[in-house]
Structure 1
Amino acid sequence: MAGTVKRIEHVGFIGCRSLEYVKLSRNLEYGENTFYSCWSLTSIFIPQSCRVIDRDAFRGCKELIILHVPQTTELGETIISETALIESSPFETEYRGEYDGNDEEVNTSIKNMNGNDEKYALHRACSSFDPQTDTVNVIVKSKGLAAFQKENALGITPLHYLEENPLADIDQRILVKRYILEMMGETI
């Protein structure tokens, strides 16, 4: 998506059932019912510039399991109804994945998917809109390479976030090489 795009209007991509991948504009500010029923969409990374994701934005995205949303983004009602994400969550849902009445709690959970503690620091770094190699390297250096395989509550690893993130320009092989050299006292 071009960097000039600031809004995705009502039902912008509704029913794009084969849509698997979207690289959003870094300047995106708003979307409503944006990806309704995009069955094949598995992940989406919202930019820091996005102020509002309105009602039902990802409703019916049956395969959606990864959703990164900045803390500052306002979320509307039932944005993840009928998704793999709500089905994998601890929240009670009604018919067809509805969670009416729990919007505030679910939306808070979406924004804090990887918590704030040190346990999921690598998950947070890898799931951010624009992950930085140096940040990821510092965390891997302190936690070890096995941290890439640690699953969060939804069963997602940091490596999976990097693989799904369209803005991730991080080569795991280079990270591993850098890690090994630094552990041996070498510099790059």
Structure 2
Amino acid sequence: MRVQTEEWRRFIPGVRMYRGKKTLFWNGEKLWDDENGEYLVYDEQGRISWEVIIVLPGVELIPRNTFSSCEKIETVIMSDESVRRIETLAFYDCTSLSYVRLSRNLEFIGLEAFFCCDSLPSIFIPPSCREIVECAFEHCLKLIIFSVSRHTELDDNVIAKTELIEASPFTTDNIGFYDNNDEVNEWIKNRHADNQFSLHRACSSYNPLDVVIFDIVKREGLKAFKKSDSVGVTPSQYLSENPFAEVEEQKMIKRYILDMMGEVI
């Protein structure tokens, strides 16, 4: 589910059907009393009915446990400018969560913020993010794409017990934690540094540019879209999963073919 910029202006806070999904348009109101351990505004039955969370402009903080155990949430979309911090356990045990579009100004992801989001296959961290705390994405069993900039500080076991770690060259202990956090974190950040993975790097970036992708495809051919990296993911997969991408592979293929035929683009 993609949300156009102009749509944000007409969103009203509250719960209603949107594009066929039970959606909470959240304006930052407090949903959980952490001190007393109780739900506010919406009861447990209401919370487990939500399928989509749209975080409205102006919300800078997602507090501890705000959406924890909302087991039917499939999609979380944050406005580009606002959310700066996602605190501890904010999306803990959202077992159906499969798509997240983070704020472009995000700075911090807290302890176990997305712990046990079993259905989440990918996450793209904007370069504004300075720190991701310990075990933030632990036990996201299907997580195979984790795109993060080199300057983001990664704490211990950020992606422990994920498909990506299972496919990595690293060993884990008997409870699934890494043996060497520094090595794993360097590997996470630099997996596509080699020129042979330039298309992977371009398609998984925070701001994929059609001119860059097209230039690589012109050099390497259309087969480059289907080339697997060390964990078996192709540029096509990175591009289709990337919530920040506005480049469409099919349009790029058509452009390539026309270019090869000498047609004017």
Q: TM-score range by the shorter chain?
A: over 0.9
Task: Tell me the C-alpha RMSD between the 2 structures.
Answer: 1.0
Structure 1 vs Structure 2: percent identity of aligned residues?
51
Q: Is 1:46 the counterpart of 2:125 in the alignment?
A: yes
* Residue 187 of structure 1: how far off its partner (Å): 2.6
TM-score (norm 1): 0.95
Secondary structure, in 3 states, of the residue corresponding to 2:123? strand
Structure 2, unmatched stretches of 5+, are 1-77
* Pair 1:134-2:177 in alignment: no
Matching residue's letter, 1:186: E
Radius of gyration: which is bigger? 2
> For this pair of structures, how many residues does the alignment match?
186
Matched, 1:113 2:191: yes
Structure 1's consecutive aligned runs of 4 or more residues displaced over 3 angstroms after TM superposition are none
Of Structure 1 and Structure 2, the greater strand share is in 2
Q: Which residue of 1 aligns with 2:59?
A: none
Instruction: Name the CA distance, whole Å, in 1 between partners of 2:123 and 2:94.
Output: 15
Q: Aligned partners of 1:171, 1:51: CA distance in 2, in Å?
A: 29
Shift of 1:184: 2.4
Alignment correspondent of 1:17:
95
The residue type paired with residue 139 of structure 2 is G
1:33-62 residue CA offsets vs partner (Å, 9 max, x unmatched): 221111111100000101101111100101
Q: Which residue does 1:154 correspond to in 2?
A: 231
Deviation, 1:19, is 0.5
What is the TM-score of this pair, normalised by structure 2? 0.68
Q: 1:68 aligns with which of 147, 151, 156?
A: 147
| Partner residue, 1:178 | 255
List aligned pairs for 1:17-36, cutoff 5 A. 17-32=95-110, 33-36=112-115
Structure with higher helix content: 1
